[in-house]
Amino acid sequence: MNGKNEKERGLLKRILSNKDIQKGIAFFSIALILAFSAVIPVTEEEFNENTIEDDAMEQINFPGYRVHDAILNITQGTTNLAIQDFQGNVLLNETVSEGDSIDLTDIDSPRDPNLLVFTNVQGNLTYTYDLQYSRRPYGLLSLPAAFFTLIGMVFAFKGKGLILGEIKQRKMEEEARKKQEERDDVEEKDKSTGEDEISGEVIFEGESTRTKKGEADHINFMGLPDEDDEDSER
């Protein structure tokens, strides 16, 4: 178990010490910081006060951000107010006069307002427009974040390839070393076995061997007994 842990720690150490992996981690860190900065919302407040002359017309663009509060207060005059969405559909159309207050975030419609249109103004119309909304001013940072992410991926894959190649090379060298050790063990075993067989062979020369050798000495090249031997027998 300890050996396995040591092996895992060694692999992690090789990964973290790889230059390409380090560059990839650095680019990923920068991309992460930029990405978080791009989605950070900022609450802003806008206050407008304006006067519309008699029989004039005015339009106010409703912000396309996430609006928290939007209050329209009529402080003087009377007018017809129409609130439209992005497609020009009328969400609210009513006459408002001095002292009226309209919460633009409480309109009973599934669509968001986009345009406020004042028409049929009677007398000088004075109104205040108070907004609180959220927006992401650093949204463009998402572009360099994506770019740094791609660069980090390139370095990470490059480092991964080098580490895998190194691991494969070491594995091949380890297998080759084991096979060589096995061959050496087999050769040493065969060598020791051969020496034992040679040391165990003992040659004995008995009487039958000497007799046959003596008989062979009295036979000439024609395969017949020597004449001297025949005379001695007579």
Q: What is the pLDDT of residues 30-45, one digit of tens each?
A: 999 999 999 888 888 8
Distances (CA, A) of 216 to 197, 209, 212, 227, 234: 32, 11, 6, 14, 20
Report all structural domains of the chain as residue ranges with CATH numbers, in order of start. 2-39+152-175 (no CATH), 42-135 (2.60.120.10)
Given a contact cutoff of 8 angstroms between Cβ atoms, the answer to whether 134 and 68 are in contact is yes
Instruction: Read off the pLDDT of residues 153-211 as tens digits, 9 standing for 90 and up.
Output: 998 888 888 878 777 887 888 888 888 888 878 777 777 776 655 555 544 444 444 44
Given a contact cutoff of 8 angstroms between Cβ atoms, the answer to whether 109 and 103 are in contact is no
Given a contact cutoff of 8 angstroms between Cβ atoms, the answer to whether 83 and 67 are in contact is no
Given a contact cutoff of 8 angstroms between Cβ atoms, the answer to whether 106 and 98 are in contact is no
Rounded distance between C-alpha atoms, residue 159 and residue 106, angstroms: 55
- How far, in whole angstroms, is CA 157 from its chain's centroid? 9
Instruction: Read off the pLDDT of residues 53-99 as tens digits, 9 standing for 90 and up.
Output: 888 888 888 776 677 788 889 988 899 989 888 888 888 888 999 89
pLDDT at 211: 47
Residue 213 has pLDDT above 50, yes or no: no
